[in-house]
Amino acid sequence: MIIDCHGHYTTEPKDLHRFRKEQIAAANAKDKTALPSRASLKMSDDEIRESIEQNQLKLQRERGTDLTIFSPRASGMGHHIGDESISFEWSQICNDLIHRVCALYPKNFIGVCQLPQSPGVPPKNSAAELERCVKELGFVGCNLNPDPSGGYFNSPPLTEKWWYPFYEKMIELDVPAMIHVSGCCNPAMHTTGSYYLNADTMAFMQLILSDLFKDFPTLKLIIPHGGGAVPFHWGRFRGLALNNGRPELDEIIKNNIFFDTCVYHQPGINLLTDVVPVENILFASEMVGAVKGVDPKTGFNFDDTKRYIEKAPRLSDADRAKIFEGNARRVYPRLKTKATVKAAV
Ligand SMILES: [Zn+2]
């Protein structure tokens, strides 16, 4: 079985965009009377089916993957927009929509939630929505935004006590978080080209110099997009860790930090699988997402990452099995009750 741990619903029914546009306009105007109602949303099962079958499901079948761990569009979370109540309403709507996809295709998709984070609001306020999504909707994880400001990095580091009550809820529910920023409103950064990778790299550096995993030995965090700049600069991070009296990186990350394979070329995957322990790598494609289209050099889609894993020269079959399935089952323990049946192709 091949589990893709990083997929977003980027082909949502169009009325969701109408709703969000009206919601943002009302938030910007600070006019609560102009907020659209949830009841106004018109998204039929047929519309959802069509959007999935023509896109994510079609690609799963073509590429030979089985199950996608599926969350709302990351760049659309927009935690910097409006206040906490806006973020709460928007997150619940997006999470409920993911739940509908998972209910329509239970063998192909399993949910991960967006959190109702908002700038300056303690992360503990997102614990209730996480609990709702896990207990009521059967979700297996969450996307945790380290920078709800949308590009200004003014939140406390992920290792500060500010975040601890939320981690306690994650531990209680036995779910991991993918550290994932949203759309960027800082004009100096491109959302998927620089902001995402900057945040990934920042998170890793915060984590390796901290005692976070002494306080939470079972906390599991996934750093997406191949870990940002981390694998390429492994020597720099390793040296900084050792110079600060920390153990080897392999030891620091062992049970707690994982990287996905959303790296869109063969040499990048070769490097990732060369320097990061196989046990800490999870298969992912982030399709249909950040980099659409066909690589003219290979003739295959940039985000068709399965073929890079298959061709990575240093991996054994046993390594590939860990990356494709075994590691995901360890990191997302709640998968074991849900994802036991191989998807029908
Ligand atoms: Zn993503």
Q: How far is the CA of 339 from the centre of ligand 1 (A)?
A: 21
Give the pLDDT band (50/70/90) at residue 252.
very high
Q: How far is the CA of 73 from the centre of ligand 1 (A)?
A: 7
The backbone region for 180, taken as left when phi is positive above 0, alpha when psi lies in -120 to 50, beta otherwise, is: beta
CA 62 to chain CA mean position, Å: 23
Q: How far is the CA of 227 from the centre of ligand 1 (A)?
A: 12
Residues with Cβ within 5 Å of ion ligand 1? 74, 286
Orientation angle between helical segments 84-104 and 14-28, nearest 10 degrees = 170
pLDDT of residue 341: 42
Q: How far is the CA of 10 from the centre of ligand 1 (A)?
A: 10
- 337 pLDDT higher than 90: no
Residues taking part in catalysis? 286
Name the pTM for this structure. 0.96
Mean pLDDT (the chain) is: 96
Give the pLDDT band (50/70/90) at residue 339.
very low
Instruction: Return the exposure string of 194-219: e unless at least 16 CB atoms fall within 10 Å of the residue's CB, then b.
Output: ebbbbbbbbbbbbbbbbebbeebeeb
Q: How far is the CA of 288 from the centre of ligand 1 (A)?
A: 10
Each residue's pLDDT tens digit, 190-213: 999 999 999 999 999 999 999 999
- Which of 200, 196, 240 has its CA nearest to residue 222? 200
**Range in 73-77, 229-233, 286-290 with the lowest mean pLDDT:** 286-290
DSSP 8-state secondary structure symbol assigned to residue 217: T
Taken in order 89, 173, 220, 245, the sign of the CA dihedral is positive
Q: How far is the CA of 6 from the centre of ligand 1 (A)?
A: 6
What is the pLDDT averaged over residues 104-115? 98
pLDDT of residue 319: 98
pLDDT of residue 338: 57
Q: Above pLDDT 70, what percent of the chain? A: 97
